[in-house]
Structure 1
Amino acid sequence: MNVKIVEAKIEDADDIADLYPHWGFELARERLINSLISNREKRYVARIKGKAIAHLLVRYGTGNKAHLAKLHSLIVAPEHRNKGIATQLVRHALKNMPANIEIVLAEVHKDNKPSMKVFRKLGFKRYGYLKKALKEENGYKNIVLLKKEIK
């Protein structure tokens, strides 16, 4: 399996929409376009045979938080999970951080064991826990706050 990690392009909008069916194509396309023209974020995808099968968003801090980056929306297509693709994607993002980034943050749902495993394997440490961080139709979700100092 030949996985290629690259910055997302507008042509990836359909594949990204498939990963996030609740977004729909138009929202996926809009978010991708905004990322492409922004200097505050990057989206990476993992491709197999040209198809984006995983996604990660990196947002960069500004002002007195310009030394921070935050990882969001890590997802791998169900049929490609447990193959190390998420680890490759996060590792690639870490390797390609701008020079001013010193600390990388991530938030993971408390019950998302696979994501926790990826981040811990790559040296992220827990620095907090936020109860009722996300309000969803069936109640609240708690998140674990993670960080990795890269400088």
Structure 2
Amino acid sequence: MAEEEAKPAEKPKSPDMRVLGQFIRDMSFENIMAQKGAPSDVQPDVQVQVNLDAKKRSTENQYEVSIKLNVTSKAKTGDSTLFVLELDYVGIFHIENVPDDQMHPFLLIECPRMIFPFLRRIVSDVTRDGGFPPLNLENIDFVSLYRNEIARRQAESKKTADA
């Protein structure tokens, strides 16, 4: 019996990701405190909501990932709103060597992680230029955010199936 030559196992290629561009798709900053003439020595209570979105572009291996922030700052005493910042920040990515079953989490975890520092800088600059102390966003745990969204969707689909 002739021995077959052992073929070297093909090593899987590591994921390749490049940021091709990033931009602000939409932004709104309302300085409600200045409009109402409220005192400037108010202690703020800042609430941040984050939504992620991703879609394939028409060019092969290109994807668009969007981080949508909704930041509301209210006075700790009373219920008056100080400012509202809405920001839709987009990154364009070229991605190769990611298996199809891993693409969705890759797009909604790794891609936002790459562009988040730039988004943080914009939020800091806008709030500072709006007359407030610069808002330095805490790091966002995109893995937890992704898992929570998957769990929410599963619960929602179960609720719909039970109805």
TM over 0.5: no
Larger Rg: 2
Relative to the length of structure 2, the TM-score reads 0.31
Whose RCO is larger (CA < 8 A, sep 6+)?
A: 2
Relative to the length of structure 1, the TM-score reads 0.33
